[in-house]
Amino acid sequence: MRKKKPELLLRDAFQVSANLDYYEWLYDLVELPNHRELLKHLRRIDFYCIIEKDHNREDDGKSLRTTYINLGGAHSPSPLTECSVLEMLIGLAFRMEHELSGLVECTDIVDCFLILLENLELSFMNDNRYLGGNGAEVVDDRIYNMLDRRYRFDGSGGLFPIKTPNQDQTEVEIWYQMHNWMLENYVF
């Protein structure tokens, strides 16, 4: 096995601490101090999509890295690294907040992120529950069902379940699922 050069080791260590600062910033955005283990787990899962246009949600997640740098953050993960599920969910929560702003009272990034966790049936997964049982398995099951679109026709088990779907939600891109969900849940 080849040894790394000392300067590479230093760079790798710096990148890890920079990543932690970035992820601390992400955790602070959603204000869920009792869900740290869930958030850490979501950051370890790469987001991928089956429907082509859902790459836009990946771009939303990755754009958080630029926002972090623009706000004075030291370093964020390389643009070449995959978007994590945590980044995608926070990026989507920002989009949701923007779409609902001015239309719905008291809806901010935290509210929107919690809605996503509730829809994925993960909002109950605080640190005690995560660490006290099979938390990792539950999170993996729910997230991979969402990523692989193994949820129900009406979107239950996914990000945006709706009561009266006019088509199979597993075939609808996330952006339009969100809008269908908002139309059903909020009076515009």
Which residues form the domain of 156? 17-185
* 3-state secondary structure labels for all residues of the chain: CCCCCHHHHHHHHHHHHHHHHHHHHHHHHHCCHHHHHHHHHHHHCECCCCCHHHHHHHHHHHHHHHHHHHCCCCCCCCCCCCCEHHHHHHHHHHHHHHHHCCCCCCCCHHHHHHHHHHHCCCCCCCHHHHHCCCHHHHHHHHHHHHHCCCCCCCCCCCCCCCCCCCCCHHHCCHHHHHHHHHHHHCCC
The residue that leads in pLDDT, 74 or 163, is 163
Q: 134-181: per-residue pLDDT in tens?
A: 999 999 999 999 999 999 999 999 999 999 999 999 999 999 999 999
Residue 20 pLDDT more than 60?
no
pLDDT of residue 17: 47
pLDDT of residue 102: 75
pLDDT of residue 103: 75
Flag whether 56 is in a domain.
yes
CA distance 145 to 126: 20
Flag whether 4 is in a domain.
no
Flag whether 10 is in a domain.
no
Q: 113-123: per-residue pLDDT in tens?
A: 999 999 999 99
pLDDT of residue 79: 67
pTM reported for the whole predicted model: 0.86
Q: How many domains does the chain have?
A: 1
* pLDDT band at residue 186 using 50, 70 and 90 as cut-offs: confident
